[in-house]
Amino acid sequence: MKRKSIALLSTILAGAIVLTGCGTKDTAKKNNAAASQKANEVKKATDVSKLPQVAKDRKDTLIVGGSAPKGKFNPLYSDSVYDGYVTSLIFEGLISNDEQGNPTPALASKWDISQDGKTYTFTLVDNAKFSDGTPVTADDVAFTYTALCDPKYDGPRTDAVEKLQGYKEYKEGSAATVSGIKVIDKNKISFTLTEVKGPGIYDFGYGVLPKAVYNFEKGNMQKIKDSFLKPIGAGPYKFVDFKQGESVTFEKNDNYYKGAPKIAKIIYKVTNDKTNVQELSAGQVDVNQVTANANTVKMVQTAGFLDQQIFSANNYNYIGLNTRLPMFSDKKVRQALMYGTRRKEFVDSYYQGYGTVANTNNAPTSWVEPTGLNEYTYDLEKAKKLLDDAGWKMNDSTKVREKDGKPFEVHWLATSDNAMIQAMIPVVKEDWTKLGIKLITDSMDFNTIAEKVYDKQDFQMYAMGWSLSTDPDPSGIFSKSQDVLGGNNSVGWHPDKSEELIAKGLGTTDQKVRKEAYQEWCKLINDEVPYLFVSNPKQVWAVSSKVKNLNISAFRDWTYDIYKVELTDPSAK
């Protein structure tokens, strides 16, 4: 199921969609961002003899720490990085990707793209089986992508199928099949689009579902949802147990087509950034992402037995504003909030050189490389004037601005155990008080906020991050089709110009044309700021020196090639 796609991040650390997923034609362009990236920095353990005994004794189990998954353990619905980790271990897609983000074979041993760029034909590997021992066939692939086209599908993956021939007839009409999906034989399948889609190959990284297990009548997507906590796939590990807010347990899949994993058991343990370094140092957790700043890096080094993998991340943090609401519908208000917040001061203080200020929907890893952006340097007077111009006038008695008799009061859904957000709250409150805005924080856990923001669109303001897709196409977050309950366009921003530029970037395989379209789009969102962009942080991963062959980078998380990872004695000669 490897497709490095968009996924929500709680933000510690930071969270367009999450997964990923070979080409005989040069439609899948090389991800040239790699050429400008610095090599990943690896800080090796300084004293492996400090490995705690509890970690030494744990010889057949890898413990990975991270934020709590929601329990959407299905590649059609998983929408957070953390649920994505779970689905990555259990499911497998037709394609995966390499360290530069370029597509590579997975369940598909090869593929062809037609001369007109509209038809993708995949040949499956011969020996792939689901964890229950049944073979993976083209019928399973067809079932998976047809499910995404279902009239009742309400997840975030619509962008992967909406250009398929027959999509509308199946989604909105009485068609019994999607005409663009054709099973050629048990090991070969083709997908035909209505038009060229530049990054189309990346749509085929989502995990394949076994039809025999998940099959349902058209319109009954509830059966898929009812199976969230009973996942079965063709990935390297099998699901064992889920304890909400505590852990997810896996055991190796001996039927895995690339070979049985070397580690018998994996436990994904729910941790938080207030205590994760202590748990790593005590040997209770083997792998975890930690806050990207100099203080944390030094703390991890002090443990002695922990390696650190540090790299420019393909993500950014932001504050989302519900632009459907009158208070945020005017871009002058949103611009005022950008000018009136000390973003650079916060980023410099919090990340201590391990992050930069974000000003658009992009990451340093991207080949888009937008230029000419407004950096919104802190300017209190300019912010005040923009609010005045937008009709929000200061009440000299209450010191809170008003418009049409309503005070400017904003409720911020704030993740309670997120160190970055908790550090940002007093800064934003102080800055916005000077602007005449009353900010009220409503603290709750990440999954509750994600449900309110994405599944219900019931919010005024929140802070999260995006783990961006391998390809810089922003449609998975900001297209009009994502402005639905369960979609990714939670803030409701999709002006006609945005749709036009997204279509231009999607409708060609010419990377020069795509780059120009996305550069212009980045300027548009930088001007309209439906998000208050905060930071492009690096990622810092602490990995016990007992863990070998685990390599994490901007386009490959810890689940990639997990079957190769081993547990060893780092002090053995």
Q: Residue 38, exposed/middle/buried by CB under 10 A (0-12, 13-18, 19+)? A: exposed
Position 28 pLDDT exceeds 90? no
Position 11 pLDDT exceeds 80? no
Beta strands in 326-485 (DSSP E): 355-357, 393-395, 400-403, 406-407, 409-415, 438-444, 461-467
Please give the structure tokens belonging to residue 3: 């497709």
Name the band, by pLDDT with cuts 50, 70 and 90, for residue 31: very low
Per-residue pLDDT of 172-200, as tens digits, reads: 999 999 999 999 999 999 999 999 999 99
> What mean pLDDT value characterizes the chain?
92
Position 32 pLDDT exceeds 70? no
Task: Go through 554-566 and write b for each residue having 16 or more CB atoms within 10 A of its CB, e for each that does not.
Answer: bbbbbbbbbbbbe
Measured distance CA(200)–CA(197) in Å, rounded: 5
Q: What is the pLDDT of residue 373?
A: 98
| 552, 347, 462, 518: CA torsion to nearest 10 | -70
Per-residue pLDDT of 290-334, as tens digits, reads: 999 999 999 999 999 999 999 999 999 999 999 999 999 999 999
Cα 555 to chain centroid distance, Å, stands at 11
Position 33 pLDDT exceeds 60? no
Q: What is the pLDDT of residue 2?
A: 42
Judge whether 286 lies within some domain: no
Q: What is the pLDDT of residue 368?
A: 96
CB 64 within 8 A of CB 56: no
Measured distance CA(128)–CA(109) in Å, rounded: 11
- pLDDT, mean of residues 377-403: 98
Judge whether 515 lies within some domain: yes
Query: Could you list the residue range(s) of the whole structural domain that residue 404 is in?
Result: 315-538
Judge whether 229 lies within some domain: no
Q: What sections of 373-465 are H helices per DSSP? A: 380-389, 419-435, 446-450
DSSP type of residue 277: H
Strand partners for 248: 242, 268
Q: What is the pLDDT of residue 235?
A: 98
Any idea which of 25-29, 234-238, 358-362, 407-411 has the lowest mean pLDDT?
A: 25-29
Rounded to two decimals, what is the model's pTM? 0.88
CB 32 within 8 A of CB 367: yes
Position 22 pLDDT exceeds 50? no
Position 116 pLDDT exceeds 50? yes
Measured distance CA(125)–CA(416) in Å, rounded: 45
Q: What is the pLDDT of residue 458?
A: 97
Position 443 pLDDT exceeds 70? yes
Per-residue pLDDT of 335-369, as tens digits, reads: 999 999 999 999 999 999 999 999 999 999 999 99
Per-residue pLDDT of 239-282, as tens digits, reads: 999 999 999 999 999 999 999 999 999 999 999 988 999 999 99
Q: What sections of 436-510 are H helices per DSSP? A: 446-450, 475-478, 496-506
DSSP type of residue 87: H
Please give the structure tokens belonging to residue 255: 């039927």
Judge whether 557 lies within some domain: no
Look at the chain and report how many structural domains it folds into: 1
Q: What sections of 112-204 are H helices per DSSP? A: 138-148, 167-172
Name the band, by pLDDT with cuts 50, 70 and 90, for residue 34: very low
Judge whether 43 lies within some domain: no
The CATH number given to whatever domain includes residue 381 is 3.10.105.10
Measured distance CA(288)–CA(64) in Å, rounded: 6
Judge whether 163 lies within some domain: no
Q: Residue 146: which of 130, 134, 164, 120 has the closest Cα?
A: 164
Please give the structure tokens belonging to residue 253: 């899949």
3-state SS class at 428: helix
Please give the structure tokens belonging to residue 71: 């329990």
Q: What is the pLDDT of residue 372?
A: 96
Judge whether 94 lies within some domain: no
DSSP string, 38-78: PPPEEE--S-GGG--HHHHH--SEEEEEESPP-S--STTT-
Judge whether 46 lies within some domain: no
Measured distance CA(309)–CA(540) in Å, rounded: 6
Name the band, by pLDDT with cuts 50, 70 and 90, for residue 417: confident
CB 66 within 8 A of CB 552: no
